[in-house]
Amino acid sequence: MSARFADKVILITGATSGMGRAAAERLAAEGAKLVLAARGKEAGDALVAGLRAAGGEATFVPADVTVETEAAELVRQAVERYGRLDGAFNNVGAATAMGPVTGIDSDAWHADLALNLSSVFFALKHQIPALHAAGGGAIVNNASNLGVTGAAGMASYSAAKHGVVGLTRSAALDTAAAGVRINALITGGVDTPLLRANLGPKPEEALRAAAAMHPLGRIAQPDEIAAFVAFLLSDEARFITGAALAIDGGLTAA
């Protein structure tokens, strides 16, 4: 595999599972120095150990990026350890409030917005100055297909992910002149532990139904998302910014 991220420092939130973990493995294999963040220290330490055993360079910082001070400290530690920050994949997110709009209480609404939108805002607020100081770089925010569509019973999650798309576009315009590119991923179904944990009592049936929703007839594997993240963070994508880019098996085209 190429070393296109040699000497580049990349931060990943939501790094210990699914798409975040796959991105960490891909970027480490391409030479990146990684700063990985999630709430669970044990899983983070295990991931770092595995990456280092494979020849990669990574460090783990336990962080809840729904809290601005922790998002800021994460960036500070990245720069303190490696001297710079060149890119980030803001991957934290999950649907936490399910059901019709009339059944979502205020606390659940705000919790969904905190996890899926405020976390990205806090990340960008503190990542962008570090990328400016490094002379530029790239950020990818995970918005999901519900950043451009709706779904019954997922109002707060969809509202938050639509917010991520708008935030991405506005921040990209704020930072373009300084050489910082910011894009959003529009992902479809991805075979992650989180997805499988929410499949209900008939998981195989639910997986088949999810696959059937996608014109390509399947859901993605995390490494497919990771490859696209790596492309967007690389200099090969140096003319792409402010975009919401679908990697969804044709889901949103329908």
Which residue among the candidates 157, 167, 184, 189 is catalytic per the annotation? Answer: 157
Q: Is 157 a catalytic residue?
A: yes
Query: CB neighbours (10 Å) of residue 10?
Result: 30
Instruction: Put the strands of the sheet holding 137-142 in their side by side order.
Output: 57-62, 33-38, 9-13, 87-90, 137-142, 180-187, 244-247
Q: How far apart are the C-alpha atoms of 116 and 13, rounded to whole Å?
A: 12
Q: What residues are labeled active site?
A: 157
